[in-house]
A and B are shown apart, each in its own frame.
Chain A
Amino acid sequence: MSVFPYPEISKEELEELHQLVQPVEKFFNEDVDSKKIDHEAVIPPETLNGLKELGLFGIQVPEEYGGLGLSNTMYARLGEITSLDGAIAVTLAAHQAIGLKGILIAGNDAQKAKYLPKLATGEHIAAFCLTEPGSGSDAASIQTRATLTEDGKHFLLNGTKFWISNGGWADIMTVFARTEVVDKDGQKKDKITAFIVERAFGGVTSGKPEDKLGIRGSNTCEITFEDTKVPIENVIGEVGGGFKVAMNILNNGRFSMGSAGAGMIKRLIELTSEYAGTRKQFNRSLSEFGMIQDKFATMALNAFVMESMAYLTAGMMDRPGVPDCSLEAAMVKVFSSEGSWTCVSEALQVLGGLGFTKNYPYERYLRDCRILQIFEGTNEILRMYIALTGMQYAGKILTGKIKEMKKGNVGVVFEILGKKLKDLVVKTVDFGLTGKDGVVHPSLTESAKMFEQNAAHFGSTVESLLYRYGKTIVDEQLVLKKVADVLINLYAMTAVLSRTSRSISIGLRSHDHEVLLTNTFCKDAHFKNNFLLTQLQKKDNDANIKKIAQEVLAKRAYVCSHPLDRTF
């Protein structure tokens, strides 16, 4: 299993990281006025210059092109600090995690040499242009067109892109458009191609910035392309291969949300606990009340799990080769976005009315957090992705067996019956996590056993789902949502088990607290998983939910009569 042991970085790298982290932290604590940025909906140029000087515009760009050349893990670490201001975090992420990532991973050397140096220093700002008014989550329906000119040296780009972060200032944009491609059968088809478009090419107009609920400092606007001439050297990858480029870019940027969320929550814990410790009501300080303590525990648990998952994923991605961690990154993103939202809400709740005012930063954090569940793939879409990828994989393995069962092969039926009986009688499952040669530390045996049990139960549930639905499972979103939730919980459990085992083994400070957090989280997650899995075994409300939704949507209004209505 590649999740054990927990990925580490070498001592030298860690020291180098500390060197980088300190000035950034200092900058953010002193020179960034988040309140002003939020109020005026713009990041002042001095702040941007400061960020550029710190090199934060090219964290992952290789050193030969003028960037910092840091790995994913270090990028995640720096993300913890930049997340203190939501607008800055989003601007930086839009610039490097998606804006210039295309050139970085799929561009040829000429393109890299031409564009990356200026992008790394922050002289040019990048943006990622995929979303259109008619296609948000459904990226396959984009309408922007790129037609080849007569001389075959340029593409003419026509179309509108919508909600582009950094759209107002970006000089270099990664634009996705449809191009006509003749495929090997000789048929003309429309395929998506990725282009590097400079604002200097002409025909690029930005609309006015959108007035948003949160991350107000980040510039989000509409970009229109009118007969923009793009030379064919600026095609990223090959013509018609834009889809894969987009996929890779999006799938890779997500994991950093975990560490960003964790950083923000850690800061919030500091601010909130100070308030809870000093404020007195009913002659006791708030921190003595159970419900307040519950909130702090939630925050601590969420921060712990988020950073474990984020660094585990980043570490896996940093392994040699190009491992495909898109599934894990998606899981991190879903968990972190929802966890951040609940934690910020709870922190605001501790402060009560004060948290609601603009004098404290909580409402700003809350507003900034709301976008986490929406951008970079809405949580609903990502849940579908997580569940279906898992189903795809499981389906490949189980198809043969299920087909045999459906045909009514006697031998297979007996085998299944036998297994079910054994499961009823003998409840223990052993995957080898614990025990003499186990990878999990003995203090975490109980949690590991719960995890193994969940995993086994999940396996049999997936099998029964595939038996019931087959390939039509794509349409059963309510079922897939539960599957995705179970998967996310399982991944979270592995992350914390792995991290805590390492902490205990090497004797990190406060590792006993980590054991406590791990055991608590695993127990909670175990129960949640059991509930979801029971629901998946046909004991759910899905049919009723669908029916209610159908009736309400048919009328496009609330259906019931008013409780005060009379018939006579």
Chain B
Amino acid sequence: MNAPRHLLRIQCIGYVARFLGKPVQRVILPAGAHLQTPGSQHNYGQLLRPFHCSAVCSTSRPSQTQLEKTVEDETLNKDKRLVTHDDLFERAARDSKTKADFNRVVDVFSKKDIRRRGHVEFIYAALKKMPEFGVERDLTVYNKLLDVFPKEVLVPRNFIQRMFNHYPRQQECGVQLLEQMEIYGLMPNVETKVLLAQIFGEKSHPMRKYQRIMYWFPKFKHANPFPVPHVLPSDPVELARFSLTRIADDLDAKISIYQYPSTDITEPGEEVMRPHIVGIQSPDQRSLLAKHNPCRPVFVEGPFPLWLRKTCVHYYLLRADPIPPEEKVEEEFDLEMIGPEQSLFYPQRVELDLERDMGDDFSFSVDDVEEGPVYAMCMAGQGDQATLSQWISGLQETCPILGQIPTVFRLDSGPRELQTSSEQIIEEEPLLSQRVKQ
């Protein structure tokens, strides 16, 4: 690569300039670059730029971007005040924090100093700032950050260096970067491996950590039989559909959307918000409801929270109390239909006085807490009685017996619907070596 050659050239020019003892005028170098007095430090930034970007765009920059100015400020005022790397990120994107901004900051840092001074602190700061920019799950960003490390310098070259934890701070930094990847569940890819090999060598701590990640992560990838996707549907009806099927977990259960969210304008000119109502019921629940005794009430209870990663949704239940044992009606089998001798095709019960042998008895004696039946569930935009009554009347179409059963509403004053904590500020967990050195 040309970087070492360029490095050498700059050094030579610098020495030459100092040797000559006078300000060097613009010297045209073979690459078509311009050289100015080495006295002004801020020109270093300008000097480096032409080498590291293509010849075409070298001098056509009319104005410096804000970021460059920030970097200049930093380098200019280096002796005068303490500027942390965090501020760099802060200043980079005041209003919006995107991946592009983050990448830009990293680029600027990389290009600023060929020796990458302070890269360890920078990387720590960047790791801390990642969640704010929303790039903590982006593998390319981690690879780019890993790219900040100088290559081939940190690799141990003899046995003494190999023995004694060569460049411990940098290795620890690499390990922390991989640790953050692990925390967010990212699987590193081949580029990561190549980078780690180039930066730290094959037998370094970060490389070992990478190998450990690559051993364990595939084994745990499918450990959760019911994974929640990272990207949840944003449409409340779709989200409700997803969460209700997740709770019900019955392949027969059918979702019915009783009302789509809409805004109506009534006669006095007011806006009436109609929230969405999505319900779920399975055929088993329907038949249980049909057998419910109309003398006993059913209860609409809620709202119960359901957490899907960082989103909390609330659902309501339609349930009844368990039947006390005295009132339980045993289903009688008509002996003729399922008689011991012969039913129409084969006997459903054999009239023998023998029980199952202990060796083949796989039943457990379970002390079950008796719970009443749950007849249906729903999720609604608003948890007030009016909306839920609408749900009940929608249910009545498929279960007419609901018209005769008294329905009691036992609602808590629920929190606001669809609270997402992603809008709140995530508390920063103090990582071990997070302190940015000044």
Residue numbers of A with Cβ under 8 A of B are: 137, 139-140, 189-191, 243, 246-247, 250, 326, 377, 381-382, 384-385, 388-389, 391-392, 395-396, 399, 402-403, 406, 466-474, 556, 561, 567-568
Q: Do residues B344 and A473 form an inter-chain contact, with CB atoms below 8 A?
A: no
Which single residue of chain B is at the shortest CB-CB distance from A556? B251
> Per a CB cutoff under 8 Å, which of B221, B337, B341, B353 touches A567?
B221
Q: Would you list which residues of chain B between 333 and 365 have a CB under 8 Å from chain A?
A: 334, 336-338, 340-357, 359-360
**9 tightest CB-CB pairs across the interface, nearest first?**
A470-B354, A385-B346, A567-B218, A140-B337, A139-B344, A395-B352, A384-B346, A471-B352, A468-B357
Q: Do residues B345 and A473 form an inter-chain contact, with CB atoms below 8 A?
A: no
A381: chain B residues within 8 A (beta carbon) = 345-346
Q: Do residues B354 and A388 form an inter-chain contact, with CB atoms below 8 A?
A: no
B251: chain A residues within 8 A (beta carbon) = 556
Q: Do residues A470 and B217 form an inter-chain contact, with CB atoms below 8 A?
A: no
What is the CB-to-nearest-CB distance from A543 to chain B, in angstroms, rounded to a whole number? 9
B349: chain A residues within 8 A (beta carbon) = 471, 474
Q: Do residues A399 and B353 form an inter-chain contact, with CB atoms below 8 A?
A: yes
Asked if B187 is at the interface of the complex by the 8 Å CB criterion, the answer is yes
A389: chain B residues within 8 A (beta carbon) = 342, 346-347
> Per a CB cutoff under 8 Å, which of A243, A470, A474 touches B337?
A243
> Per a CB cutoff under 8 Å, which of B334, B345, B353 touches A189?
B334
B337: chain A residues within 8 A (beta carbon) = 140, 243
Q: Do residues A139 and B345 form an inter-chain contact, with CB atoms below 8 A?
A: yes
Q: Do residues B357 and A467 form an inter-chain contact, with CB atoms below 8 A?
A: yes
Q: Do residues A395 and B345 form an inter-chain contact, with CB atoms below 8 A?
A: no
A403: chain B residues within 8 A (beta carbon) = 353-354
Q: Do residues A246 and B344 form an inter-chain contact, with CB atoms below 8 A?
A: yes
Q: Do residues B356 and A474 form an inter-chain contact, with CB atoms below 8 A?
A: no
Q: Do residues B352 and A388 form an inter-chain contact, with CB atoms below 8 A?
A: no
What is the CB-to-nearest-CB distance from A208 to chain B, in angstroms, rounded to a whole number? 28
What is the CB-to-nearest-CB distance from A567 to chain B, in angstroms, rounded to a whole number? 4
DSSP class of A's interface residues: helix, strand, loop or mixed?
A: helix
Query: How many angstroms between the C-alpha atoms of A403 and B355 in the bound complex?
Result: 9
Q: Do residues B187 and A392 form an inter-chain contact, with CB atoms below 8 A?
A: no
Q: Do residues A377 and B345 form an inter-chain contact, with CB atoms below 8 A?
A: yes
What is the CB-to-nearest-CB distance from A456 to chain B, in angstroms, rounded to a whole number? 22
Q: Do residues B356 and A470 form an inter-chain contact, with CB atoms below 8 A?
A: yes
B354: chain A residues within 8 A (beta carbon) = 395, 399, 402-403, 466-467, 469-471
> Per a CB cutoff under 8 Å, which of A190, A468, A472, A567 touches B359?
A468
What is the CB-to-nearest-CB distance from A470 to chain B, in angstroms, rounded to a whole number? 3
Given contacts A140-B337, A140-B338, A568-B214, contact A388 B346 (CB under 8 A): yes
What is the CB-to-nearest-CB distance from B331 to chain A, in angstroms, rounded to a whole number? 13
Q: Do residues A399 and B342 form an inter-chain contact, with CB atoms below 8 A?
A: no
B343: chain A residues within 8 A (beta carbon) = 139-140
Query: How many angstroms between the C-alpha atoms of A370 and B354 in the bound complex?
Result: 39
Given contacts A381-B345, A467-B357, contact A392 B214 (CB under 8 A): no
Q: Do residues A140 and B356 form an inter-chain contact, with CB atoms below 8 A?
A: no
Which single residue of chain B is at the shortest CB-CB distance from A135? B344
**9 A-B residue pairings within 8 Å (CB atoms):** A140-B334, A384-B346, A391-B350, A392-B352, A395-B350, A395-B352, A468-B356, A471-B349, A567-B217
B355: chain A residues within 8 A (beta carbon) = 470-472
Query: How many angstroms between the C-alpha atoms of A139 and B343 in the bound complex?
Result: 9
Given contacts A381-B345, A467-B357, contact A388 B218 (CB under 8 A): no
Which single residue of chain A is at the shortest CB-CB distance from B221? A567
Asked if B61 is at the interface of the complex by the 8 Å CB criterion, the answer is no
Q: Do residues B352 and A399 form an inter-chain contact, with CB atoms below 8 A?
A: yes
> Per a CB cutoff under 8 Å, which of A137, A471, A556, A568 touches B350?
A471
Query: How many angstroms between the C-alpha atoms of A188 and B348 in the bound complex?
Result: 23
Asked if B230 is at the interface of the complex by the 8 Å CB criterion, the answer is no
Residue tally, chain B, CB below 8 Å to A: 32
What is the CB-to-nearest-CB distance from B411 to chain A, in angstroms, rounded to a whole number? 34
Query: How many angstroms between the C-alpha atoms of A542 and B349 in the bound complex?
Result: 22
Q: Do residues A472 and B353 form an inter-chain contact, with CB atoms below 8 A?
A: no
Q: Do residues A470 and B352 form an inter-chain contact, with CB atoms below 8 A?
A: yes
A567: chain B residues within 8 A (beta carbon) = 217-218, 221-222
DSSP class of B's interface residues: helix, strand, loop or mixed?
A: loop
Most chain B CB within 10 A, of A250, A467, A469, is at A469
Which single residue of chain A is at the shortest CB-CB distance from B344? A139
A326: chain B residues within 8 A (beta carbon) = 342
B187: chain A residues within 8 A (beta carbon) = 568
Q: Do residues A247 and B344 form an inter-chain contact, with CB atoms below 8 A?
A: yes
What is the CB-to-nearest-CB distance from B217 to chain A, in angstroms, rounded to a whole number? 7
What is the CB-to-nearest-CB distance from A316 to chain B, in angstroms, rounded to a whole number? 18
Query: How many angstroms between the C-alpha atoms of A386 and B419 in the bound complex?
Result: 62
Most chain B CB within 10 A, of A191, A389, A472, is at A472
Q: Do residues A388 and B334 form an inter-chain contact, with CB atoms below 8 A?
A: no
Query: How many angstroms between the C-alpha atoms of A190 and B336 in the bound complex?
Result: 11
Q: A243-B336, A377-B345 are in contact. List 20 more A-B contacts (CB 8 A).
A: A139-B343, A191-B334, A247-B342, A381-B346, A384-B345, A388-B346, A392-B341, A392-B352, A395-B350, A395-B354, A467-B357, A471-B349, A471-B354, A472-B356, A474-B348, A556-B251, A567-B222, A568-B187, A568-B214, A568-B218
A472: chain B residues within 8 A (beta carbon) = 355-356
Given contacts A243-B336, A392-B340, contact A382 B345 (CB under 8 A): yes
What is the CB-to-nearest-CB distance from B337 to chain A, in angstroms, rounded to a whole number? 4
Q: Do residues A392 and B353 form an inter-chain contact, with CB atoms below 8 A?
A: no
B352: chain A residues within 8 A (beta carbon) = 391-392, 395-396, 399, 466, 470-471
Most chain A CB within 10 A, of B214, B343, B344, is at B344
A406: chain B residues within 8 A (beta carbon) = 357
Which single residue of chain B is at the shortest CB-CB distance from A240? B336
A469: chain B residues within 8 A (beta carbon) = 354, 356-357, 360
A392: chain B residues within 8 A (beta carbon) = 340-341, 347, 350-352
B342: chain A residues within 8 A (beta carbon) = 247, 326, 385, 389
B336: chain A residues within 8 A (beta carbon) = 191, 243
Which single residue of chain B is at the shortest CB-CB distance from A243? B336
Query: How many angstroms between the C-alpha atoms of A556 and B351 in the bound complex?
Result: 35
A385: chain B residues within 8 A (beta carbon) = 342, 345-347
Query: How many angstroms between the C-alpha atoms of A389 and B337 in the bound complex?
Result: 16
Query: How many angstroms between the C-alpha atoms of A470 and B348 in the bound complex?
Result: 14
Query: How many angstroms between the C-alpha atoms of A403 and B354 in the bound complex?
Result: 7
Q: Do residues B345 and A388 form an inter-chain contact, with CB atoms below 8 A?
A: no
Which single residue of chain A is at the shortest CB-CB distance from B363? A472
What is the CB-to-nearest-CB distance from B317 to chain A, in angstroms, rounded to a whole number? 24
Which single residue of chain B is at the shortest CB-CB distance from A191? B336
What 1/0 mask marks residues of chain B from 116 to 137 whose CB sits below 8 Å from any chain A CB?
Answer: 0000000000000000000000
Query: How many angstroms between the C-alpha atoms of A391 and B189 in the bound complex?
Result: 63
Most chain A CB within 10 A, of B221, B251, B353, is at B353
Query: How many angstroms between the C-alpha atoms of A191 and B336 in the bound complex?
Result: 9
Given contacts A137-B345, A140-B337, A567-B222, contact A473 B357 (CB under 8 A): no
Query: How many angstroms between the C-alpha atoms of A467 and B356 in the bound complex?
Result: 7
Given contacts A243-B344, A250-B344, A389-B342, contact A473 B350 (CB under 8 A): yes
What is the CB-to-nearest-CB distance from A242 to chain B, in angstroms, rounded to a whole number? 10
Q: Would you list which residues of chain B between 204 and 235 have a CB under 8 Å from chain A?
A: 214, 217-218, 221-222
Which single residue of chain B is at the shortest CB-CB distance from A470? B354
Q: Would you list which residues of chain B between 238 and 289 have a CB under 8 Å from chain A?
A: 251
A384: chain B residues within 8 A (beta carbon) = 345-346
Which single residue of chain B is at the shortest CB-CB distance from A402? B354
What is the CB-to-nearest-CB distance from A340 to chain B, in angstroms, rounded to a whole number? 21
What is the CB-to-nearest-CB distance from B163 to chain A, in angstroms, rounded to a whole number? 33
A250: chain B residues within 8 A (beta carbon) = 344-345
B360: chain A residues within 8 A (beta carbon) = 468-469
Given contacts A470-B355, A567-B221, contact A140 B350 (CB under 8 A): no
Query: How many angstroms between the C-alpha atoms of A290 and B251 in the bound complex?
Result: 51
Which single residue of chain A is at the shortest CB-CB distance from B222? A567
Query: How many angstroms between the C-alpha atoms of A202 and B9 in the bound complex?
Result: 109
> Per a CB cutoff under 8 Å, which of B217, B338, B344, B348 touches A568?
B217
Q: Do residues A388 and B347 form an inter-chain contact, with CB atoms below 8 A?
A: yes
Query: How many angstroms between the C-alpha atoms of A137 and B346 in the bound complex?
Result: 10
Query: How many angstroms between the C-alpha atoms of A549 and B351 in the bound complex?
Result: 29
